[in-house]
Amino acid sequence: MELPALSLYELNNLVRGVIADTFSQRFWIRAEMSDVRCNQNGHCYLEFIEKDSNNKTIIAKARGSIWSNVFRMLKAYFESETGQAFASGLKVLVQVSIEFHELYGYSLNVHDIDPSYTLGDQAKNRTLIIKQLEEEGVLDLNKELPLAKIANRIAVISSPTAAGYEDFCNQLTNNKDGFIFYNKLFPAIMQGDRTEQSIIAALDRIYENIDKFDAVVIIRGGGATSDLSSFDSYLLAANCAQFPLPIITGIGHERDDTVLDIVAHTRAKTPTAVAEFLIKHIYESASELIDIQDSIIFETNKRLIEEATILNTLVTKYSYIIKDRTKDQLNKLDIISEKIKNAAIRVLQDQKHILESKEQYIEHNSPENILKKGYTLTLSGKKIIKSKAGVKKGDNIVTRFADGEVESLVK
């Protein structure tokens, strides 16, 4: 006897009844959320999937739904506890009831969620990323970079419309010490699925002009806490860890550090806190320079005083010696001077005697004295006649005596 044929609806209705009778209780299941969508009525539809141990191949899948009255409370509770958006890619622990509909088939209706499971999974994921970075030897590379003493050329990665970016700029511009900062904005998307790619692209643009900057600031400010999962990215962390300039983060959250915070050179809570850090850093550098200047001035003055004291001591010590030596030298000079004076007098006296002798000789042998002795002097014109050859017949000659002259004619 043949069994009566069932319509598909009748079969599905039987299955629905069996499932309802067999699985009347609720179950807690572990799964990964996928294709999370909300409609205009506030209902949430998604898929639950499970992958193999290599996290590559899907080995189980089920449709899921969360009705609006449950979803409003469940979503708010989950996001406040985890700091993550209720979105695809998260692993969750949810309480579900099993449903089967003649038209829509098998599905899971979500009634509750345990955020601690997701937090544990996220912590596990962060731990794995940090471990990988550590094994690759890049985890602390950025922290080891020295921050310039005067770090005032800042490359800023932020959304240009973020209130946090404006707060950051105002804080730097209006610092009470009057330090000058030069900021250059490299716009990036700071929330959502494109955050990782956008920030890495901004880092690449900064790298092209790396000599123009002292540090990189990544600030978020004002975004939803649930968007922080983007900063637990291996690729973003690896890029920042190996970037050749110090990276300072201020992505505006109070909970545990993201992986980006962990690899960054310095982590601050907010964009304003980042600005305060940079101002304080320059203030400390300026104070250090002032201390060095004061120290140099003090040591210089101290050295000058010490050297002046030494010089005064030397002057006092050697002034007596100098005076004694000077006195000796003066005495010697006096003696030498006296000797020179006496020698000069003697030379002058000797020369005087010689001159007097010559004067007497000249006077004794002068023509006047010779004529007085009876000698005569014969002249022809103005020439003295020394022999008879000096005259001829007809010459007029003059004979000079001591008491006069006589003219004669030579015959």
| Whether 103 and 140 share a structural domain | no
What is the rounded CA–CA span in Å between residue 406 and residue 403? 10
Interval 79-124: pLDDT, tens: 888 877 888 888 899 999 999 999 989 999 999 999 888 877 777 7
**pLDDT higher than 70, residue 254:** no
Interval 379-409: pLDDT, tens: 887 788 878 777 888 888 888 887 888 888 8
- Residue 92 in any domain: the answer is yes
| Whether 88 and 188 share a structural domain | no
Within 8 A by CB and 6+ apart from 192, the residues are 227, 230
**pLDDT higher than 90, residue 272:** yes
The pLDDT score that the predictor gives to residue 107 is: 94
Instruction: Kindly report the CATH number assigned to the domain that includes residue 44.
Output: 2.40.50.140
Global model pTM greater than 0.75:
no
- Residue 186 in any domain: the answer is yes
Residue type at 83? G
What is the rounded CA–CA span in Å between residue 195 and residue 157? 11
| Whether 84 and 228 share a structural domain | no
What is the rounded CA–CA span in Å between residue 170 and residue 38? 39
Instruction: Kindly report the CATH number assigned to the domain that includes residue 185.
Output: 3.40.50.2300
- Asked which of 245, 263, 285 is the last residue of a domain, the reply is 285
The pLDDT score that the predictor gives to residue 321 is: 66
Number of domains in the chain: 3
Classify the C-alpha dihedral 288-290-293-294 as positive or negative.
Answer: negative
- Asked which of 285, 315, 350 is the last residue of a domain, the reply is 285
Interval 145-180: pLDDT, tens: 999 999 999 999 999 988 889 999 999 999 998 999
The pLDDT score that the predictor gives to residue 45 is: 95
Model confidence at 279, in pLDDT bands (50, 70, 90)? very high
- Residue 233 in any domain: the answer is yes
| Whether 395 and 250 share a structural domain | no
Nearest to 378 by CA among 353, 392, 397, 363: 397
Helix 234-241, helix 115-135: angle, nearest 10: 40
What is the rounded CA–CA span in Å between residue 196 and residue 17? 48
What is the rounded CA–CA span in Å between residue 411 and residue 119? 170
| Whether 57 and 87 share a structural domain | yes
Which whole number is the average pLDDT over 329-351?
82
Classify the C-alpha dihedral 387-391-393-395 as positive or negative.
Answer: negative
The pLDDT score that the predictor gives to residue 378 is: 84
- Asked which of 259, 285, 311 is the last residue of a domain, the reply is 285
- Residue 89 in any domain: the answer is yes
| Whether 240 and 213 share a structural domain | yes
Structural domain for 386, as ranges = 376-410
| DSSP code at position 62 | E
Q: What token pair was written down for 28? A: 């807690």
| Whether 20 and 100 share a structural domain | yes
1 and 20 in contact (C-beta within 8 Å)? no
The pLDDT score that the predictor gives to residue 335 is: 86
The pLDDT score that the predictor gives to residue 393 is: 84
| Whether 151 and 91 share a structural domain | no
- Residue 159 in any domain: the answer is yes
What is the rounded CA–CA span in Å between residue 84 and residue 309? 74
- Please name every residue paired with 64 in a beta bridge, in sequence order, or none if there are none: 46, 108
- What are the DSSP calls for 190-209, one per residue? -SSTTHHHHHHHHHHHHHTT
What is the rounded CA–CA span in Å between residue 129 and residue 300? 55
65 and 110 in contact (C-beta within 8 Å)? yes
Model confidence at 2, in pLDDT bands (50, 70, 90)? low
- Residue 124 in any domain: the answer is no
Interval 36-95: pLDDT, tens: 999 999 999 999 999 887 777 889 999 999 999 999 999 999 988 887 788 888 889 999
| Whether 154 and 270 share a structural domain | yes
| Whether 201 and 252 share a structural domain | yes
- Residue 345 in any domain: the answer is no
Q: What token pair was written down for 98? A: 């099993």
**pLDDT higher than 90, residue 220:** no
> 193 or 220: which carries more pLDDT confidence?
220
Q: What token pair was written down for 312? A: 């005064």
- What are the DSSP calls for 97-160, one per residue? EEEEETTTEEEEEEEEE-HHHHHHHHHHHHHHHHHHHHHTT-TTTTTTSPPPTT--EEEEEE-T
Kindly give the pairing relationship between strand 215-219 and strand 396-401: unpaired
Which whole number is the average pLDDT over 261-278?
94
What is the rounded CA–CA span in Å between residue 80 and residue 72? 13
**pLDDT higher than 60, residue 226:** no
| Whether 25 and 96 share a structural domain | yes
- Residue 199 in any domain: the answer is yes
The pLDDT score that the predictor gives to residue 256 is: 56
- What are the DSSP calls for 8-58, one per residue? HHHHHHHHHHHHHHHT-S-EEEEEEEEEEEE-TTS-EEEEEEEE-TTS-SE
| Whether 139 and 266 share a structural domain | yes
**pLDDT higher than 60, residue 284:** yes
Residue type at 254? E
